[in-house]
Amino acid sequence: MAEAERIIGTPDTPDEAGEEQEQAPERPRGKRRVAVLFAVALFAYLLDLGSKMLVVAKLEHHEPIEIIGDWLRFAAIRNAGAAFGFGEAFTIIFTVIAAAVIVVIARLARKLRSLPWAIALGLLLGGALGNLTDRIFRAPGVFEGAVVDFIAPKHFAVFNLADSAIVCGGILIVILSFRGLDPDGTVHKD
């Protein structure tokens, strides 16, 4: 009987069970959330891409559209830098950073078992892809393109939907980290 239990993987004694539990790390259970990550990323990317195509076609070289008085307007601008126009001479660096973010998220996807992390990383991925697309394909040239920004709140930087996705994903990651939830679904208390 003991030989049969050993073949099918059942321990002979409680001591052996304890040894096996100590040796094998506990893996989080549940489905991988890669599909959710890519679905959220695709949604964010397509929403950003569609909005930018609409802005370039209908708003660029036209007067801004007031949405809520002068508190919120849609005004098409090309931004070679980061937020608030910072770093216009470093467009290629922002391109490399966006590409690195995409690679890191793709690597994390293998271990992803947490739905909130899948949503957060999907938002980051979709936003990074949206702005990277501008950097690669828009003027003045490959890897030096200016990002199309159009959401213009009063007394704030002009931004786009990719920027919004990145910020929302980043905020969600901070919240998840403070709550102790890891991308693999484990919860730790520090």
Among all residues, which ones are annotated catalytic?
Answer: 149, 163
Contact, 96 vs 135, CB < 8 A?
Answer: no
Indicate the residue type of 140.
Answer: P
Vertex 93 angle, CA 92 and 99, to 5°: 90
CA distance 150 to 130: 14
What are the distances in angstroms from CA 15 to CA 4, 7, 19, 48, 155? Answer: 18, 17, 6, 58, 67
CB 161 within 8 A of CB 48: yes
